[in-house]
Structures are given as structure tokens and as C-alpha cells.
Amino acid sequence: MTWTRFFYNLILPLFLVILLPRLLIQLFERGKCGHKFGQRFALYSRSVRSRLVALRPWTWIHAVSVGEVLVALKLIRCMEKKDPRCHFVLSTTTTAGLTLAEREKSKTTEVIYNPIDLFITVRRAIYLIRPQQLILVESEVWPNLVWAAKQYGATVALVNARLSPRSERRYLFFRPVIKPILHTLDIICVQNPSDTFRWEKIGVHPTRIHLTGSIKFDDARAVYRPPRDLRPLLLSIGCPKNALVLLGGSTHTGEEKILGRAFLAIQRVIPNTFLLVAPRHTERSKRVLKDLFGCGLYPVLRSAQSFLPSRINCLVLDSIGELQDWYSCVHAVFIGKSLTAHGGQNPAEAITAGKPVTFGPHMENFSALAQELLSVGGAVISHNEQELQGNLLRMLSDPAWADSLCKNAVECMRRHHGATERTRQILKSGPLISPSQGGG
């Protein structure tokens, strides 16, 4: 056992002792504490254990939450299309991720919670599943999980990998600790040329790194189900048939009020409008409902059983995994977590659906794509509430401009088309170098 591994397994239990009570409280508050909780410690029901043993060998894909699960599902569909004999374990950390994965999984996929990264826990899971390949989505590199998989002879890959300048600086600072973990990654599929440079700079051997483009930005329609038509639902809650619909996608605290006030200002100019708000965390939906009502709107939850259709002008989406479907119903989109929070959210699905998008100045997690979109006129930035109001209003009142945004955005993302298939081919080929060629 290396000093890095020893130190990690010494410190992690201490952190868990501190953090676990808070996690349990959160799960209890959301009513999820008993739902498959044992799986977080690699304790599975008899039926799950039987399937895991009977259908070996598995390809294990880990995706932390909803966005990463969507990437994993696209990759699984692409892989099973080429080889129907494949079986997949799809693990996720969050309840929302599990709900989406269970709903959208194929017959070849077993969905579980990812085990807590304790040495004994992950060894139990790996011993039961015996993966021939462990695929981690984007940035979820759990050391004990990776080390245990390698011990049992699995290939370990990181797909759709991204490394922001901030993460690069952090990794460089902790390079002596990080390097032995990076050494275990056989394949790293990156999204952009700049990511290639950053991974090399922190010590990854160049022949382990493959530029594939982003699976998130790949044409979702090519490997994912077509969107469901949700317009009848809009009509049933009182949205006029020819209304112009705005959508705030994956919004964070404070953004709903800003969007609500902007919408009311737009409605004074274009009365025939309707607002959809999709909070990033659905457990905030009731709070969002109150905030929007306080702004002067008449909102209703997607899950509501009764309402007054004549007054409703806003629908709060407290559902999971439907955002792709709603994009097909709208005329303009605001990308959340970009005005009052930092990081941004993925604009790819809205662009793929052919919708004009605007976002705030804080798109750090998607900075390369955001800058590219802005440079070619494929999106517009809204620095504040006034700009958001003006940009959304222009999208609705100037169809030619909105159409040009859509066309430019689609052209900008064309280089990512085929990223899922390119990733599949690299995973199938396996690593190109021996384990002795480690971090560089």
C-alpha cells in the first residue's frame, strides 16, 4: 500500500464521521433515508446480488447525478447498440440521479447507489460485480473504487473528462498526492484541446489522453429517445395554444425571482406569454413557488393535482429528467446557475432542441463552450436582470435574430457530434500504453 493510499484511508473515515450525520438528516428530510440506503455500504438485496452474480462480466459506469447520468445513458445506448451482449452496472450518488437512471435504463442495465469510498465497502462491491471495465463520468474519481477495480484487473476510464483552470491549479498544488491516483487511469477522454493540455500539465501521460468532444454536446437525438410531447399538459393548465413560452432551466437560489420579474415585464409588452421554471434541485420547488407568487405570478407545481387554469401563467417543474422534453415546447431559454451562482449549466440540450439561449456571466464549468457560442453569435450573455429581460424579449419579438442564434449555436456544436461513438471506439480498443508509463 502506497503512502498516498494509506493517508487517504486514514483521513476518509474521519471526514465521514463528521459528514455522515448531516447526510442522514438530508436524506431523512427528503424521505429517502430508507430507499436502498444499504447500497451506499455495498449491502444489496438478494435479488440484486443474484443478478450481479449471474450476469457477469459487467461494465460499471459511475455518474454522480442527473447530468452525468444522462451522459452515461447515451453512452450505454451507443455501446449496447453495437454489442447487445453487454451488461452495465450504472451507479449514481444522488437520489435524483437514481430516479432518472431507474426510469430510463434499458434491460441490460442494473442501477445502484455508488458505495461510499471506504476500503472495505468498495472491495465488497467490486468483488460482487467483478467489472471488466470501470468507466467514470466527467470528474468522479474515487480512489478506493479505482484501486479496487485495478486490483481485480479492470480497465479504468474517465470519459467526458473536463478540467477547469481552477481545478488544474488545485491539482498542481496537490500533485504529489494526486499523481498516484491519476496513474491508475488507463484512458481519459477529454472534451476540448485545452483539456488535453491541462491533463498533460498535471502529469498524465499524453498517450492516455484522447480528444473525443463532449458526449453532453453530442446530438442527443442520435442516441437518446425522442422528446415527449408535453404541450397537452400546458394546455390543460391554461396556457394559451399559441402562447410564447419562456423557460428557465436548472435555476439556482435567487434566479427564479429575477426571471419572474423579467417575465412580468415582458408580459406587459407581449401579453400572450407563459413561463416555465425548472429548479436545479427539485426539493426547492415549494420555496420557488412562494418566491414566484411573491413576485406577482400565478405559478403551479408540475405535480399539482388541482389548480385554477384561468389564472396560471407559470409552471414550476418539480419533476426529474423531463427538461429535454420541455425544451421542445418553448421559444427561448435562460440557462441557470449563471447569474446568482457560479458554474453554469449545460446549454447543449436547449441548443439541440433548436432554441435560442441566454446565460449569465458565470459559466465556469462550461467556459470553453460558452466563449465559443458567444464568439460566433450562438448565444447571448445577460449580466443582470435588465439585460435578461431585454434579451428574452428580443428572442420572442425578433424571430430572425432568434433563428440566427439557433443556427450559429448548432454550427458551433457540430465538432462535438459523434463524441459518443468516438468514446465507445476508444473504450473498446483499450489502453494504448503499459501500466509502467504512468503519470508522465
Predicted confidence (pLDDT) per residue in 402-439, tens digit: 999 999 999 998 888 899 999 999 999 987 554 444 44
CA distance 391 to 406: 14
- Distance from CA of residue 14 to its chain's centroid? 29
CA distance 226 to 219: 11
Q: SS3 sequence, 73-104?
A: HHHHHHHHHHCCCCCEEEEECCHHHHHHHHHH
Q: Which residue has the higher pLDDT, 310 or 215?
A: 215
Residue 27: per-residue pLDDT: 63
**Packing angle of the helix pair 385-397, 399-412 (nearest 10 deg):** 100
Q: Following DSSP, what letter does each residue of 293-318 receive, concatenated?
A: HHHT--EEETT-S---TTT--EEE--
Model confidence at 223, pLDDT cuts 50, 70, 90, reads very low
Question: Rounded mean pLDDT of 378-405?
Answer: 98
Q: Average model confidence (pLDDT) for the chain?
A: 90
271 pLDDT more than 70: yes
pTM across the whole model: 0.79
145 pLDDT more than 90: yes
Q: How many CB atoms lie within 10 A of CB 430?
A: 11
127 pLDDT more than 50: yes
Q: Is the dihedral of CA 197, 203, 206, 210 positive or negative?
A: negative
> Are 38-218+419-429 and 231-415 in the same CATH fold?
yes
Q: Which residue has the higher pLDDT, 168 or 111?
A: 111
225 pLDDT more than 80: no
226 pLDDT more than 60: yes
1 pLDDT more than 60: no
Q: Which residue has the higher pLDDT, 435 or 213?
A: 213
Q: CATH homologous superfamily for 231-415?
A: Glycogen Phosphorylase B; (3.40.50.2000)
Residue 432: per-residue pLDDT: 57
33 pLDDT more than 60: no
Distances (CA, A) of 345 to 175, 254, 280, 359: 28, 15, 9, 9
Residue 439: per-residue pLDDT: 46
Residue 434: per-residue pLDDT: 44
Question: Rounded mean pLDDT of 316-336?
Answer: 94
277 pLDDT more than 90: yes
CA distance 212 to 221: 18
Over residues 159-196, the pLDDT tens digits come to 999 887 778 888 888 777 788 888 899 999 999 888 89
Residue 67: per-residue pLDDT: 86
Give me the CATH code for the 38-218+419-429 domain, please. 3.40.50.11720
Of all helices (H) and strands (E), which one includes residue 349? helix 348-352
Return the domain boundaries, the chain: 38-218+419-429, 231-415
CA distance 109 to 408: 37
Residue 259: per-residue pLDDT: 98
Type of residue at 254: G
Q: Which burial class, exposed, middle or buried, applies to 170 when counting CB atoms under 10 A from its CB (0-12, 13-18, 19+)? A: middle
CA distance 44 to 226: 33
b/e 92-127 (16+ beta carbons within 10 angstroms → b)? bbbbbbbbbbeebbeebbbbbbbbbbbbebbbbbbe
